Amino acid sequence: MGKHWKIVTVVGARPQFIKAAAVSRVLRQKHEEILIHTGQHYDGNMSDIFFEELHIPRPDYNLGVGSGSHARQTAAMMVGIEEILLKEKPDYLMVYGDTNSTLAGAVAASKILIPVIHVEAGLRSFNMAMPEEQNRILTDRISRFLFCPTETAVNHLKDEGITRGVYNVGDVMCDAVLYYSREMEKNPSAFYFGRLQGLFHPIEPVGRWYLATIHRAENTDSLEKIRSVLGAFEQLDAPVLFPVHPRTKGMVRELCAAHDYGNILFTEPMGYLDMLYFTRNAVKAITDSGGLQKEAYILDTPCVTVRDQTEWVETLNGGHNVLARPQTQDILDKVRHTVIDRSNRPPYYGAGRAAEQILEILDSAG
């Protein structure tokens, strides 16, 4: 029987809240958790319904840092987190993934000798131009516990000489997807097109659809790339449901003023449960989001990823996920012609028990 821990968890964006909720459900049965929201990303979907619908604990602290340059944002978060750590005196600090909030929390704790727990350790894109890659590598270097989602991640750390405190526990996002899928199945009629808020006009129901999300800087740094992506969506054989990220809203609005994209259903960002529903029932997902690639795999929905590489390399096996350039014809070719080998779909991300394994390991460490 392990001791009673006091753990400070740092999150900064909506996906991190969802991952943290999967662990909090288990952690809070025996331990104390203090939740810090850095406010790195403002998300209008994080309303009361977000917390209520997903049974997510509300933050104990909200730093409200907001956007800014990487240096200013990270520095402001470090100052705020350190102040809370000195006040709360936790046994551990827990961070998720690869955002600036992740790095800020890890550095602030490490400097005052509070052990760091990194959930989703060991992911690598091998592209050091990505801020996320820098964040995850630096966080891994100063973490006491490195909880990896896959064996690939364990091997990445081993290649870098990191073997101590490394565990493959499976993916906490798999925990969340399976948990909330079961919740949805209790009341499936609650999820429908009428819940969606159209960006330009109301969304009419359709029987078949593709689900698309495009928001990474590498795809949104020019109007031409977005035009090419939308050009592909316009030629597909079913409507494309496209929740528009705030980063791309201005570009999309400009392009739609000059062209009528009749095959694309533009919506405001969706709630998490709606995303799960529309992903699970889509013909395919088309995305540059790491989270959606993985969710599509877990939900057995084919995926085309509009990027040069993916951290989730396992999903490429058997054609469940394929990479495409942000060019109209390449996207069309990959969406139309990729054939999935459904006999080759191992449970790379675990069986939905990552949170339990994390707590078992921490308990045994005590």
Active site residues per annotation: 215
Q: Residue written as tokens 């694309």?
A: 264
Q: From CA 141, how far away is CA 298, in angstroms rounded?
A: 29
- In our burial notation (b when 16+ CB lie closer than 10 A, e otherwise), range 125-140 reads beeeebebbbbbbbbb
Select from 190, 194, 200, 214 the least CA-distant residue to 267. 200
The crossing angle, in degrees rounded to 10, of helices 290-298 and 172-185 is 60
DSSP 304: E
Order across the sheet with 240-243: list the strands: 264-267, 240-243, 210-213, 285-287, 303-305, 321-323
Phi first, then psi: what are they for 347, rounded to 5°?
-80, 70
Residue 50, CA distances (Å) to 44, 142, 172 in order: 10, 32, 19
Q: Residue written as tokens 């259903």?
A: 265
Select from 299, 347, 14 the least CA-distant residue to 177. 299
Looking from the CA of 309 toward its CB, the CA atoms found within 13 Å total 10
- In our burial notation (b when 16+ CB lie closer than 10 A, e otherwise), range 23-35 reads bbbbbeeebebbb
